[in-house]
């Protein structure tokens, strides 16, 4: 592993491109190798065993391609597979849950924290456990929001139906007067405006994606792996490439998506 | 292949259980072998190549388990992989598109037919081609409805948000005065009441699932493969088994779901 090697990032699909956008902002010298497991997306409704198996295949691919460290940009995979990947491979592995939980623990003023995510992420209890450790005084209300991913992917980020569904999902947070809500899924930042409107401006939304870039920077420094200069372009891989992937990918990356290479895992 | 062997049915997930329910009604003596590719669901957003590869794996599994014929209970797989499967295997293969299109061609009185399905099914043009052959006089309006699958799986079959979204999706059908709409996805029968309400009672909804059972019966008879008596219980397999699969599966089958066996493809 050399400092000039790229950072490997994988996600169940293209939502992890919001994490790539965060890494580009914080670490402009680092090259990124991205893999979206678009043929097997979504992970959020799959069992723990299957998610672990898929995450292992993704990680192995990125290491074969020369990644110096791994970022698990998928909340569901972070919830189910992080310890398993750390035990399986010798490189540093950063997930999205711990950074998001730590940011929420710092942000809350009244110690009432909400977490939203896929069914898999929420029922795994991973955010709840991380917050119990990082903010032991806090009351944590967790709520799975299964329709947010398809709504975000359909671009219905400001649709009356989305507002209706979000109002139902978020009702427990008003009742418990949370002042901080963790967006525990990489798709959710696209829905931030409507979520903020429903929750009110006094509630802080924590975007795990942006918290992750800071932890990655610290991890690279601690392991003497920071790139001295830009050594290569970012490269994008996916297990399935459709017009939809390219279209939605641009929205998540917030930039034009370079050539996406098809890979069969 | 003996008449006593079971009928193999596969789907990208559990929606195909509505087809199993139809087969049970029409062919009570036939034993069914069902495979739901729940680890890789949904197919509707994947590319044609990936869908063909997955469909081939599913078909091979069912034949290895002794199926005497194959029913492709997934509209997307029928659209992309039917001819490929017929070329690959020696048993009869029935899809859901041809039977649904034939039923719609018989049902329409004003020769204006609507078709709804996943993005993959609609953009494949399979229903449009089948209808051009079976109802050459008819005007066909096709519309993909990507949010119907997640809404049906969340059980939001009578929710105001579902009504809002459905009203938008179905608007072209009123404008074109269609009198028949094909439900081109095995999930959609669960939404029938709200769809019928929006379209009005003068529009006939065609459920491909129930059309398929008749074609399967005819295919078995033509090949001398009809079971003389019930030789075995139905068996259910899935590539991922979660509480969600069992919960949603019951809704689709309309009956208690027997033990579901996990299979790794």
B234-265 tens-digit pLDDT: 999 999 988 888 888 888 898 888 789 999 88
What string of DSSP letters covers A100-144?
A: HHHHHHHH-SSSEEEEEE-HHHHHHTHHHHHHHHH-TT-EEEEEE
Closest CA to A36 of A255, A256, A252, A254: A252
Using DSSP's 3-state secondary structure scheme, residue A166 falls into helix
Q: Are B11 and B44 in contact (CB under 8 A)?
A: no
- Structure confidence at residue B46 as a pLDDT band (50, 70, 90): confident
- Is A105 near chain B, with CB under 8 Å? no
Q: Which of B150, B157, B170, B263 to mutate: most A Cβ within 10 Å?
A: B150
The length of chain A, given as a count of residues: 265
Mark yes or no for CB contact B244/A45 under 8 Å.
Answer: yes
Whose tokens are 């698990």? That residue is: A72
- Give residue A115's pLDDT: 98
Among this protein's residues, is A185 annotated catalytic?
Answer: yes
Q: What SS3 string covers chain B? A: CCCCCCEEEEECCCCCHHHHHHHHHHCCCCCEEEEECCCCCCCCCCCHHHHHHHHHHHHHHHHHCCCCEEEECCHHHHHHHHHHHHHHCCCCEECCHHHHHHHHHHHCCCCEEEEEECHHHHHHCHHHHHHHHHCCCCEEEEEECCCHHHHHHCCCCCCHHHHHHHHHHHHHHHHCCCCEEEECCCCHHHHHHHHHHHHCCCCEEEEHHHHHHHHHHHHHHHCCCCCCCCCCCCEEEECCCCHHHHHHHHHHHCCCCCCEEECCC
- Give residue B265's pLDDT: 86
- Give residue B42's pLDDT: 85
Q: What residues does A114 pair with on adjacent strands?
A: A141, A181
- Give residue B122's pLDDT: 93
Q: Are B148 and B191 in contact (CB under 8 A)?
A: yes
Residue A39: list chain B partners with CB under 8 A. Answer: 40, 46, 50
- Give residue A248's pLDDT: 85
Q: CA neighbours within 13 Å on the CB side: how many for A238?
A: 27
Whose tokens are 């006939």? That residue is: B204
- Give residue B244's pLDDT: 80
Among this protein's residues, is B185 annotated catalytic?
Answer: yes
Mark yes or no for CB contact B40/A45 under 8 Å.
Answer: no
A11-29 tens-digit pLDDT:
999 999 999 999 999 999 9
- Is A40 near chain B, with CB under 8 Å? yes
A139-177 tens-digit pLDDT:
999 999 999 999 998 889 999 999 999 999 999 999 999
- Is B265 near chain A, with CB under 8 Å? no
Mean pLDDT of A89-108: 96
10 Å CB burial of residue A3 (0-12, 13-18, 19+) is: middle
Residue B90 has pLDDT above 90, yes or no: yes
Q: Which residue has the higher pLDDT, B211 or A71?
A: A71
Q: CA neighbours within 13 Å on the CB side: how many for B144?
A: 15
The alpha carbon dihedral of A213, A215, A220, A221 has a sign of positive
- For the full predicted model, state whether its pTM sits above 0.90: no
B116-167 tens-digit pLDDT:
999 888 998 999 999 999 999 999 999 999 999 999 989 899 999 999 999 9
Mean pLDDT of A169-194: 95
- Structure confidence at residue A195 as a pLDDT band (50, 70, 90): very high
Q: Are A187 and A151 in contact (CB under 8 A)?
A: no
**Dihedral over alpha carbons A20, A25, A27, A33 (to 10 degrees):** 20
Residue B216 has pLDDT above 80, yes or no: yes
Contacts of B185 (CB under 8 A, 6+ apart): B15, B44, B75, B116, B117, B118, B121, B145, B148, B149
The alpha carbon dihedral of B73, B77, B82, B87 has a sign of negative
Using DSSP's 3-state secondary structure scheme, residue A182 falls into strand
Token output for A138: 């806090």
Cα A113 to Cα A249: distance, rounded to the nearest angstrom = 30
The alpha carbon dihedral of B66, B121, B130, B178 has a sign of positive
Q: What percent of chain A has pLDDT over 70?
A: 100
Q: Which residue has the higher pLDDT, B67 or B43?
A: B67
Residue B31 has pLDDT above 80, yes or no: yes
Q: What does the mean pLDDT of chain A come to?
A: 94
C-alpha distance from B217 to closest chain A C-alpha (Å)? 34
- Give residue B254's pLDDT: 87
- Give residue B163's pLDDT: 97
Q: Are B53 and B43 in contact (CB under 8 A)?
A: no
Closest CA to B130 of B196, B60, B211: B211
Interface of A with B in 202-241 (CB under 8 A): 239-241
Could you say which DSSP state residue A229 is in?
S
Q: Given A39, A47, A150, which is nearest B150 (Cβ)?
A: A150
**Going from the N-terminus, what domains does chain B have, and what CATH number goes with each?**
7-96+210-262 (3.40.50.1860), 98-208 (3.40.50.1860)
Residue B208 has pLDDT above 90, yes or no: no
Q: What does the mean pLDDT of chain B come to?
A: 94
Residue B1 has pLDDT above 80, yes or no: no
- Give residue A16's pLDDT: 94
Cα A234 to Cα A237: distance, rounded to the nearest angstrom = 10
- Give residue A93's pLDDT: 98
β-pair type (B180-183, B204-207):
parallel
Residue B221 has pLDDT above 90, yes or no: yes
Residue A225 has pLDDT above 90, yes or no: yes
- In what helix (H) or strand (E) does residue A153 lie, and over which residues does it extend? helix A148-153
Q: Which residue has the higher pLDDT, A252 or A132?
A: A132
Q: Are B97 and B80 in contact (CB under 8 A)?
A: no
Residue A239: list chain B partners with CB under 8 A. Answer: 50
- Structure confidence at residue A138 as a pLDDT band (50, 70, 90): very high
- In what helix (H) or strand (E) does residue A202 lie, and over which residues does it extend? none
Residue A1 has pLDDT above 80, yes or no: no
Largest alpha-carbon pair distance within chain A? 51
Residue B150: list chain A partners with CB under 8 A. Answer: 146-147, 149-150
The interface predicted TM-score (ipTM) is 0.83
């Amino acid at each position: 592993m050399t400092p000039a090697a790229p950072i490997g990032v994988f996600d169940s699909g293209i939502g992890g491109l919001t994490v790539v956008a965060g890494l580009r902002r914080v670490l402009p010298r680092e090259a990124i190798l991205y893999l979206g497991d678009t043929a097997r997306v979504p992970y959020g409704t799959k069992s723990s065993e299957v998610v672990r198996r898929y995450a292992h295949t993704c990680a192995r691919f990125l290491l074969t391609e020369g990644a110096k460290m791994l970022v698990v940009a998928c909340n569901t995979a972070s919830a189910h597979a992080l310890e398993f990947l750390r035990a399986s491979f010798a490189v540093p592995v950063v997930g999205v849950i711990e950074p998001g939980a730590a940011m929420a623990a710092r942000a809350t003023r009244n110690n009432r924290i909400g977490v939203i995510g896929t069914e898999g992420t929420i029922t795994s209890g991973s955010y709840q456990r991380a917050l119990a450790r990082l903010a032991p005084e806090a009351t944590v209300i967790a709520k799975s929001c299964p329709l947010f991913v398809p709504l975000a992917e359909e671009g219905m980020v400001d649709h009356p139906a989305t507002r209706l569904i979000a109002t139902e999902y978020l009702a427990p947070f008003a009742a418990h007067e949370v002042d901080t809500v963790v967006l525990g899924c990489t798709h959710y930042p696209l829905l931030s405006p409507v979520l903020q409107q429903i929750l009110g401006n006094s509630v802080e939304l924590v975007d795990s994606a942006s918290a992750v870039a800071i932890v990655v920077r610290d991890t690279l420094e601690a392991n003497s792996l920071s790139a001295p200069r830009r050594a290569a372009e970012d490269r994008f891989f996916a297990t399935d490439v459709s017009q939809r992937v390219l279209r939605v990918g641009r929205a998540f990356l917030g930039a034009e998506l370079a050539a996406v290479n098809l890979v069969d895992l």
